[in-house]
């Protein structure tokens, strides 16, 4: 990432009251991932700092479902994987024929790491070893499934080559622990609670990806990037593991009030320590990461904040 310097006013005071009281719903994911605690932390920040607004984090099926909630106006904010946002905005991939042009971003909050987990005594050492196995690809309607399928298909593996199970994070961890499946995918900000809990009860191994596998994945999904899971992240993880990552985007409907969108964006970046206290994934919640990673246009209110702090917004990030 290029080095950027921003003149951000470090004000932690409550923002100006909104003209109309707002009750905000934040679409997140399952309780075993990072979306739910991050969304809950953001809700608490809104309740504490934006006068005239209250917020609640809602458990959902994650990225794909969340885009539908934003489109229909059933949620006000949502955490969504960047590839899902990109496909929805452009009407490609799983969103072919149902383009969601009213998608706008406030920020990219943190990167997800695609984590392939198996038991330590498993014979699964690579993606190729998944053939014929029972593998969780994530909950239905989740960004995890989109990421897993893109990674696998880019490397010549389809759902016909193994026995796919569509389980959420907690269900995947339980099924690996109990021997009901052989491996499972997570696409989530590491470390994640469900893998931490699994590693505390069973010896696990994270399966790394080769440079060729990563490049194959990037050819079909440009929002993928190489990412290294650090050694010691989970119990028994003695060495770093090479994987891929993808940003998580905080999205809203284009119809959101501009002043509210501005205040939410300002809140996110000027009270980040409160979000880090909820989950360490928020250490990546910076203006720089957001500008470098967001694949769809920002809301006008968010643009106002970025321009105030001197960020260089790309052409594709303007409506």
pLDDT above 80: residue 41: yes
If one compares 122 and 192, the residue with the highest pLDDT of the two is 122
Confidence of residue 183 (pLDDT cuts 50, 70, 90): very high
Q: In terms of domains, do 147 and 233 share one?
A: yes
**Are 206 and 124 spatial neighbours (Cβ–Cβ below 8 Å)?**
no
Is 201 part of a structural domain of the chain? yes
For residue 213, being part of any structural domain is answered with yes
- 50 DSSP assignment: B
Choosing from 246, 271, 290, the residue where a domain stops is 246
120 and 241 in a common domain = yes
pLDDT at position 17: 63
**CA nearest 79: which of 54, 50, 107?**
107
State pLDDT tens for residues 250-309.
999 999 999 999 999 999 999 999 999 999 889 889 999 899 889 999 999 999 999 999
Q: pLDDT tens, 214-242?
A: 999 989 888 887 888 989 999 999 999 99
- Which CA distances in Å does 138 have to 14, 114, 186? 39, 11, 7
Whole-number pLDDT of residue 56: 97
If asked whether residues 147 and 49 sit together in one domain, one would say: no
Please tell me the predicted confidence (pLDDT) of residue 192. Answer: 87
The b/e string for 210-248 (b: 16+ C-beta within 10 A; e otherwise) is eeebbebbbeebebbeebebeeebbeebeeebebbbbbb
122 and 241 fall within a common domain: yes
Distance between CA atoms of residues 191 and 206, nearest Å: 12
pLDDT, position 16? 58
Residues 51 and 174 in one domain: no
231 with 263, same domain: the answer is: no
Task: Report d(CA 22, CA 35) in Å as an integer.
Answer: 22
Distance CA 207, CA 20 (A): 50
Which domain, by its residues, includes 220?
112-246
17 within a domain of the structure (yes/no): no
Q: Are residues 275 and 194 in the same domain?
A: no
Note whether residue 155 is domain-resident: yes
Examine the fold and report which residue of 228, 246, 264 is the final residue of a domain before the chain moves on. Answer: 246
In a domain, 156, yes or no: yes
> What predicted TM-score, i.e. pTM, was given to this entire model?
0.73
Does 107 lie in the same domain as 255?
A: yes
How high is the mean pLDDT of the chain?
91
CA distance 249 to 28: 11
Instruction: Look at residue 19 and tell me whether its pLDDT is greater than 60.
Output: no
pLDDT of residue 146: 87
10 has a pLDDT exceeding 70: no
pLDDT value for 18: 67
Q: Are 302 and 262 in contact (CB under 8 A)?
A: yes
> Regarding predicted confidence, which is higher, 11 or 72?
72
- Residue 62 pLDDT > 80: yes
Q: Kindly state whether residue 121 falls inside one of the protein's structural domains.
A: yes
Confidence class for position 2, pLDDT limits 50, 70, 90 = very low
- Tell me what the mean pLDDT of segment 87-107 comes to: 92
Pick from 223, 246, 269: which residue ends a domain? 246
Together in a domain, 240 and 116: yes
Counting Cα atoms < 13 Å in the Cβ hemisphere of 157 gives 23
The CATH number linked to 142 is: 3.40.190.10
Q: What pLDDT is attached to residue 214? A: 94
Question: Is 9 within a domain?
Answer: no
The pLDDT of residue 33 is: 82
| Residue 40 in domain | yes
Q: Same structural domain for residues 119 and 230? A: yes
DSSP-derived letter for residue 120 is: T
- Structural domain count, the chain: 2
168 shares a domain with 134: yes
The whole-number pLDDT of residue 260 equals 97
Within this chain, do residues 130 and 177 fall inside the same structural domain, yes or no?
A: yes
Higher pLDDT: 45 or 22? It is: 45
In this prediction, residues 34-39 reach a mean pLDDT of 94
Distance, in Å, from the CA atom of 131 to the CA atom of 155, rounded to the nearest integer, reads: 12
Whether 213 shows a pLDDT value over 70: the answer reads yes
Which pLDDT belongs to residue 7? 41
Residue 21 pLDDT level (bands cut at 50, 70, 90): low
Q: Report residue 11's pLDDT band, with 50, 70 and 90 as the boundaries.
A: very low
pLDDT computed for residue 15 by the predictor: 54
């Amino acid at each position: 990432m290029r080095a950027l310097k921003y003149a951000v006013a470090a004000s932690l005071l409550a923002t100006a009251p909104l003209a109309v009281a707002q009750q905000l719903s934040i679409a997140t994911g399952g309780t075993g991932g990072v979306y739910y605690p991050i969304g809950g932390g953001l809700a608490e920040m809104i309740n504490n700092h934006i006068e005239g607004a209250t917020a609640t984090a809602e458990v959902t099926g994650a990225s794909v479902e969340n885009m539908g909630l934003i489109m229909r106006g059933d949620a006000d904010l949502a955490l969504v994987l960047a590839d899902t946002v990109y496909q929805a905005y452009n009407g490609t991939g799983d969103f072919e024929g149902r383009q969601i042009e009213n998608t706008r971003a406030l920020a990219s909050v943190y990167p997800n790491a695609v984590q392939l987990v198996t038991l330590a005594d498993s014979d699964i050492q690579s993606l190729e070893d998944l053939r014929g196995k029972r593998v969780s690809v994530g909950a239905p309607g989740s960004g995890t499934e989109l990421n897993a399928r893109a990674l696998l298909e880019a490397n010549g593996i389809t759902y016909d080559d193994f026995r796919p199970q569509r389980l959420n994070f907690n269900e995947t961890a339980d099924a690996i622990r109990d021997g009901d499946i052989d491996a499972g995918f997570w696409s989530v900000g590491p470390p994640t609670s469900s893998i931490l809990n699994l590693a505390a009860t069973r010896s696990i191994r994270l399966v790394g990806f080769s440079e060729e596998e990563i490049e194959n994945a990037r050819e079909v999904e440009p929002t993928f990037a190489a990412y290294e899971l650090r050694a010691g992240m989970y119990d028994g993880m003695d060495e770093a593991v090479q994987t891929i990552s993808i940003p998580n985007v905080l999205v809203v409907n284009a119809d959101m009030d501009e002043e509210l969108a501005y205040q939410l964006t300002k809140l996110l970046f000027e009270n980040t320590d409160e979000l880090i206290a909820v989950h360490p994934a928020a250490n990546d919640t910076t203006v720089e990461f957001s500008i470098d990673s967001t694949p769809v246009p920002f809301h006008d209110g968010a643009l106002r904040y970025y321009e105030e702090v001197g960020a260089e917004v790309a052409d594709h990030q303007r409506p």
